[in-house]
C-alpha cells in the first residue's frame, strides 16, 4: 500500500481525472513548520488525546484478556492520528458518527474514559447504559452519534444528518469515519451519490488500515487507489492523506470543514493508516494474512512518536512534559477501569425502558408465570 | 363526513401533518415530480418544495438510512417505498438502524420515522412484486407495524404514525388505494396505534383480519348471515403491538375464531394471534381455531394460478362454517 498523498476535486470527466493523476501530489508536505497555525497548547492537546487513546486501548486489551469485557472489541491502536486530526477541528455543534472501532473517536470528541470503559464492561454508568457495548458508544450531548456495527450501515445515516443540517439552513458538518472494506459495499456508493448530488455537508473519512478483518483491501477492490472511488461523483471533493501524520489529517479535515460550511460541498478523504492489533480482540495481530515484519515496519512510523518528535524538534514540547502526559493517560485509563469495575450492573427491571419512547405494552414477555420463577 | 378513497385519505394525512410540523419531510422514489408511483404524494412537491418532498435515487437502503440519520438529527421523515417489495433492500436500515437505535444508544437517540408504501398482492405482478411483508417487520422489537383497511383508519393511523417518536412501518394496500373508499371525518382526528376495532358485531364466530382481508372478511360475514351465522369481524389495524384484549373479548363471546391474512401460512401474523387465543381463551373455545391465508408458494404469474393463491371471501366462509360445525 502506498501512502503517497493525492488530491483532486471531481468535476466528472475522464479528462479531469487524467489531469488530476498527472498533476500528482498537490498537498504540502506533512510536517508543516507552523503546525497549521495552531498554538503550542493546541498541538500539545492533540498529542495528549492521541496518548490517551493509546493508553485507553492498551488498558482495554488488558482487561479484555482478564474477561472483564465481552463480545467483539475492536481496538484503534496505530490509527490515533486519524481521530485526533479529524475531530479536533470540529465545533461543538458539529456531528460525529463512526463504525464499531469507536472508542478513540469518542474520547477525542470529549467523552469521559470512565463512561466509555463502563460501557465496555456492560455497566449502568456506561455511556449507553451498558446496552450497547464496545461497538455502540453514543454521546448525544456531544453529538457523538455512535458506534454502528454493520459495515457501511452508518454512511446513509451521515447523509441524513447532512440533510437535516441543510434542511435547517445550518452551517454544521457531519464527520463520518469508516474502514476500507466499506468502499466495496453499496451503501458507500449510494450515500456518496446522494451527498454529492444534494450537496450535503458530510465529510466521509475513510480510515484505510489496509485490511478488512483479514483480507487485504487490494485483494478485493478493483481499484488502484481507494480515493479513486470518490472521483466518480461530481460535486464531491476527494483526496488521500497520510493517516499516520496527524497534521496531514488535520489539514485535510480543516479544508473539508471549510468547504462543507461555506458551500456545502461534501468530501471524501482517504487516510492511509494501520492498525497494530488484530481486527478485533478475537484475532491475532499478525499471522495468516500479514507478517510480523510488516506490523513492525508500520510501528516504526508510529503517529504518536512522530508527532511527539516534531513538537520536540520545534521546541514546542519538553521530554518531561511528554512523560508526564503519558503517566497521566495511564492513570486515566486505570481510573476508568476501576470506575467501570465498581459500576453496578444494569437492573433487569429497566430492560424495557428504552426500546420505545412511549409506554409500549411489553406484557408479551410477562405472561408466563414460570419465567418469573426461573429468573 | 365525506366519502374519500384510501389514497386521498393518506394524502390528506401527510398534508395536514406537514402543515402542522415543519420538521416533517418525505423522501422516496417518484414522490415529487411524478406525484408518487401510486399518486399518494400528489401535489405535495408543488406545495412544500424539494427539501420537504425529495425525489430519491433508486437506492432503497440509503434513502431509508438517510431518513434514520435525519431523524436522529431532529427531523421527522416519511420514507416512501414505491412498494414493500423493494424495501427488502432497506431491511438492514429498518431493522438494524431504526428499530435498535433507541435501545443500543441507552435511550439517547430515538428515531421518529415512518416507513410507508404499498404491500400485499397485486394483479399478475408475479413472485417479486406480489407479497405481504407484515410478519417480517412485526417480528422486530423497536418497530411498530400498522396495516389499515379503510380510508378513515388510514388517515387517522398515518397521522399517529407521523407523530410517533419511534419507527413505524406503515403497510398500505396496493389494491386498496382506489377501490377502498369510505367516510372520513371532516374534522381533525387521529386513531391510536395499537387499537383493534370491531368492524362488524356478531355472536357466532370471530373473524380476525387486517388490511385488505378485512374487506374479504366483511363480505364473508354478509354471506354467513344469509345462512344464519352472525360473524364478528375484528380488524387488527396494528400488528405490533397487537391488541389482543379486543380479540380475546370477542372470542369469549363467540367461542369460535377464524384468523385471516393474505400472506403465507408459516410463521405469519395469524400464528401469533392463534397462540394468544389459545393462551387466553382456551376454555372458551368450542372448536379449534381455523386459519385462512395465501398458499405457501411464491406468487405465480398465470391468472388462474394467482386466483387460487389469494385467499378470498369464499375461503373465509368455508372456514367459519367449519369452526361452527356447519359444513
Domain positions in chain B are 2-184, 197-323
Mutate to test the interface with B, among A163, A173, A197, A352 (most CBs of B within 10 A): A163
Q: Compute the half-sphere exposure of residue A279: CA atoms within 13 Å on the CB side of its CA.
A: 18
A176 touches chain B (CB under 8 A): no
Across the range A246-255, mean pLDDT stands at 98
pLDDT at residue A26, rounded to an integer:
41
Domain B2-184 annotated CATH 3.40.50.970:
yes
% of chain B at pLDDT higher than 70? 100
List CB contacts (< 8 A) between A131 and chain B: 103-106
Confidence (pLDDT) at A65: 95
Domain B2-184 shares a fold with domain B197-323? yes
State the pLDDT confidence band at A12, using cuts at 50, 70 and 90: very low
Res. A2 pLDDT band, cuts 50 70 90: low
Asked whether the predicted pLDDT for residue B108 surpasses 60, the reply is: yes
Residue A98, beta-bridge partner list: A147
Give the pLDDT mean for A129-138: 98
User: How far is the CA of A352 from the CAs of A65, A346, A357, A359, B11, in angstroms?
Assistant: 31, 12, 10, 10, 34
pLDDT at A4: 58
Q: How far is CA A322 from the centre of its chain?
A: 24
The answer, yes or no, to whether residue A14 has pLDDT greater than 80, is no
Percent of chain A clearing pLDDT 90 (strictly above) = 84
Whether the Cβ atoms of residue A106 and residue A114 lie closer than 8 Å to each other: no
What does the pLDDT average to over A288-300?
93
Q: Does B70 touch chain A (CB under 8 A)?
A: yes
* Cα separation, A270 vs A248, whole angstroms: 11
| pLDDT exceeds cutoff 90 at A375 | no
Q: How many CB atoms lie within 10 A of CB B122?
A: 18
Task: Give the class (CATH, top level) of B197-323.
Answer: alpha beta
Question: A374 CA to chain B: closest CA distance, Å?
Answer: 20
| pLDDT of A33 higher than 90 | no
- Taking the C-alpha atoms of residue B185 and residue B2, their distance in angstroms, rounded to an integer, is 7
B278 in A contact zone (CB under 8 Å) = no
pLDDT in tens, A319-363: 999 999 999 999 999 999 999 999 999 999 999 999 999 989 888
**Lowest-confidence segment of A27-31, A201-205, B3-7, B189-193 by average pLDDT:** A27-31
Average pLDDT of the residues in A44-52: 98
Is there a contact between A203 and A174 (Cβ–Cβ < 8 Å)?
yes
Looking at chain B, the whole-number percentage of residues with pLDDT higher than 90 is: 98
Q: Is B60 a catalytic residue?
A: yes
**Mean pLDDT confidence for A114-141:** 98
**Best residue of B104, B138, B269 to probe chain A, by most A CBs closer than 10 Å:** B104
Q: DSSP state, B97?
A: I
Q: What is the pLDDT of residue B201?
A: 98
Q: Which residues of A touch B141 (CB under 8 A)?
A: 355
The pTM of the full predicted model, rounded to 2 decimals, is 0.95
Separation of alpha carbons B194 and B215, rounded Å:
20
Query: Residue A25: what pLDDT?
Result: 40
A282 versus A347: the higher-pLDDT residue is: A347
Q: What is the pLDDT of residue B193?
A: 98
Q: Quick check: helix, strand or coil at residue A115?
A: helix
Give the Cα-Cα-Cα angle B154, B313, B304 (nearest 5 degrees).
Answer: 105
- Which of B134, B246, B158 has the alpha carbon at shortest distance from B198? B246
The Cα A195–Cα A364 span in angstroms is: 42
Least-confidence region, from A20-29, A162-171, A216-225: A20-29
Cα B99-B102-B104 angle, rounded to 5 deg:
95
Contact across the interface for A145 and B109, Cβ inside 8 Å:
yes
Min Cα–Cα distance to chain B from A356, Å: 6
B52 neighbors B98 (Cβ within 8 angstroms): no
Mean pLDDT of A366-370: 80
Least CB-CB distance to B68: which of A136, A160, A357? A160
pLDDT tens-digit readout, A168-180 = 999 999 999 999 9
CA distance B121 to A212: 41
| pLDDT for B51 beyond 60 | yes
Told to judge if B215 belongs to the known catalytic residues of this protein, a careful annotator would answer no
- Could you tell me the three cell numbers for A189? 456508493
Q: What phi and psi values does residue A76 have, to the nearest 5 degrees?
A: -105, 0
Between the alpha carbon of residue A84 and those of residues A43, A47, A244, B237, the distances in Å are: 11, 8, 11, 51
Instruction: Say if CB A156 and CB B69 are below 8 A apart.
Output: yes
Could you tell me if B241 lies within 8 Å of chain A, comparing CB atoms?
yes
DSSP H helices, chain B, are: 6-20, 44-48, 60-72, 91-92, 101-104, 134-138, 151-163, 212-226, 244-254, 269-281, 303-309, 313-323
Assess B48–A contact: CB distance below 8 Å, yes or no: no
Q: What is the model's pLDDT at position A7? A: 53
Give yes or no for residue A30 having a pLDDT over 70.
no
- Residue B308 touches chain A, beta carbons under 8 Å: no
Burial class of residue A315 in the structure, from the number of CB atoms within 10 Å of its CB (0-12 exposed, 13-18 middle, 19+ buried): exposed
Q: Domains of chain A, with CATH numbers?
A: 6-374 (3.40.50.970)
Query: So what's the ipTM on this one?
Result: 0.97
Band of residue A21 on the pLDDT scale cut at 50, 70, 90: very low
Query: Which of B16, B129, B280, B322 is labelled catalytic?
Result: B129
Find the mean pLDDT for residues A202-219: 95
pLDDT at B148 over 80: yes
Q: Is B102 helix (H, G, I), strand (E, B) or coil?
A: helix
Is pLDDT of A199 > 80? Answer: yes
Among A103, A39, A175, A156, residue whose Cα is nearest residue B79:
A156
Amino acid at each position: 500500500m502506498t501512502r503517497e498523498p493525492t488530491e483532486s476535486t471531481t468535476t466528472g470527466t475522464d479528462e479531469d481525472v487524467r489531469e488530476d493523476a498527472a498533476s500528482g501530489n498537490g498537498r504540502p508536505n506533512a510536517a508543516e513548520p507552523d503546525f497549521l497555525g495552531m498554538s503550542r497548547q493546541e498541538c500539545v492537546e492533540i498529542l495528549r488525546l492521541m496518548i490517551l487513546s493509546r493508553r485507553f486501548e492498551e488498558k482495554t486489551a488488558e482487561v479484555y484478556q482478564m474477561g472483564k469485557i465481552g463480545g467483539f472489541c475492536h481496538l484503534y491502536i496505530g490509527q490515533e492520528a486519524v481521530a485526533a486530526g479529524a475531530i479536533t477541528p470540529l465545533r461543538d455543534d458539529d456531528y460525529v458518527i463512526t463504525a464499531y472501532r469507536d472508542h478513540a473517536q469518542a474520547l477525542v470528541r470529549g467523552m469521559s474514559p470512565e463512561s466509555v470503559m463502563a460501557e465496555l464492561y456492560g455497566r449502568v454508568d456506561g455511556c449507553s447504559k451498558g446496552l450497547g457495548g464496545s461497538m455502540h458508544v453514543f454521546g448525544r450531548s456531544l453529538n457523538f452519534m455512535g458506534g454502528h456495527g454493520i459495515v457501511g450501515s452508518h454512511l446513509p445515516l451521515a447523509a441524513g444528518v447532512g440533510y437535516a443540517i441543510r434542511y435547517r439552513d445550518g452551517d454544521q458538518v457531519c464527520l463520518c469515519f469508516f474502514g476500507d472494506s466499506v468502499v466495496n459495499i453499496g451503501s458507500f456508493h449510494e450515500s456518496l451519490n446522494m451527498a454529492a448530488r444534494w450537496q450535503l455537508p458530510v465529510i466521509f473519512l475513510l480510515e484505510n488500515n489496509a485490511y478488512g478483518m483479514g483480507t487485504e483491501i487490494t485483494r478485493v477492490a478493483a481499484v488502484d487507489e481507494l480515493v479513486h472511488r470518490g472521483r466518480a461523483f461530481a460535486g464531491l471533493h476527494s483526496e488521500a492523506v497520510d493517516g499516520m501524520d496527524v497534521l496531514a489529517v488535520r489539514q485535510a479535515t480543516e479544508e473539508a470543514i471549510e468547504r462543507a460550511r461555506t458551500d456545502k460541498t461534501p468530501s471524501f478523504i482517504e487516510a492511509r493508516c494501520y492498525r497494530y492489533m488484530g481486527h478485533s480482540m478475537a484475532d491475532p495481530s499478525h499471522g495468516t494474512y500479514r507478517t510480523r515484519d510488516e506490523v513492525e515496519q508500520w510501528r516504526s512510523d508510529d503517529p504518536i512518536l512522530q508527532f511527539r518528535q516534531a513538537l520536540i524538534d520545534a521546541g514546542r514540547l519538553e521530554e518531561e512534559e511528554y512523560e508526564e502526559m503519558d503517566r497521566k493517560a495511564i492513570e486515566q485509563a486505570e481510573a476508568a477501569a476501576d470506575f467501570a469495575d465498581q459500576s453496578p450492573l444494569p437492573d433487569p427491571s429497566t430492560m424495557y425502558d428504552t426500546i420505545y419512547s412511549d409506554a409500549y405494552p411489553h406484557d408479551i414477555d410477562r405472561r408466563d408465570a414460570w419465567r418469573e420463577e426461573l429468573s | 363526513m365525506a366519502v374519500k378513497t384510501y389514497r386521498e385519505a393518506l394524502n390528506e394525512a401527510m398534508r395536514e401533518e406537514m402543515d402542522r410540523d415543519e420538521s416533517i419531510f418525505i423522501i422516496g422514489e417518484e414522490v415529487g415530480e411524478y406525484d408518487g408511483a401510486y399518486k399518494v404524494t400528489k401535489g405535495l412537491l408543488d406545495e412544500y418544495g424539494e427539501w420537504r418532498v425529495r425525489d430519491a435515487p433508486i437506492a432503497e437502503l440509503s434513502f431509508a438510512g438517510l431518513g434514520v440519520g435525519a431523524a436522529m438529527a431532529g427531523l421527522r421523515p416519511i420514507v416512501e417505498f414505491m412498494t414493500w417489495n423493494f424495501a427488502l433492500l432497506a431491511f438492514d436500515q429498518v431493522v438494524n438502524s431504526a428499530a435498535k437505535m433507541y435501545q443500543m444508544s441507552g435511550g439517547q437517540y430515538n428515531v421518529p420515522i415512518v416507513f410507508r408504501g404499498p404491500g400485499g398482492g397485486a394483479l399478475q405482478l408475479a413472485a417479486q412484486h406480489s407479497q405481504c411483508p407484515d410478519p417480517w417487520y412485526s417480528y422486530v422489537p423497536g418497530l411498530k407495524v400498522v396495516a389499515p383497511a379503510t380510508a378513515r383508519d388510514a388517515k387517522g393511523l398515518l397521522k399517529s404514525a407521523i407523530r410517533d417518536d419511534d419507527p413505524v412501518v406503515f403497510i398500505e394496500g396496493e389494491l386498496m388505494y382506489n377501490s377502498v373508499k369510505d367516510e372520513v371525518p371532516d374534522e381533525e382526528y387521529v386513531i391510536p396505534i395499537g387499537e383493534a376495532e370491531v368492524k362488524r358485531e356478531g355472536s357466532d364466530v370471530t373473524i380476525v383480519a387486517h388490511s385488505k382481508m378485512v374487506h374479504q372478511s366483511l363480505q364473508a360475514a354478509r354471506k354467513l348471515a344469509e345462512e344464519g351465522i352472525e360473524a364478528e369481524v375484528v380488524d387488527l389495524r396494528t400488528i405490533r403491538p397487537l391488541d389482543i384484549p379486543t380479540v380475546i373479548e370477542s372470542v369469549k363471546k363467540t367461542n369460535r375464531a377464524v384468523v385471516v391474512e393474505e400472506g403465507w401460512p408459516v410463521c405469519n401474523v395469524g400464528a401469533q394471534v392463534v397462540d394468544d387465543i389459545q393462551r387466553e381463551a382456551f376454555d372458551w373455545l368450542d372448536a379449534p381455531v381455523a386459519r385462512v391465508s395465501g398458499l405457501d408458494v411464491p406468487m405465480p404469474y398465470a391468472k388462474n394460478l394467482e386466483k387460487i393463491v389469494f385467499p378470498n371471501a369464499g375461503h373465509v366462509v368455508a372456514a367459519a362454517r367449519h369452526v361452527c360445525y356447519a359444513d
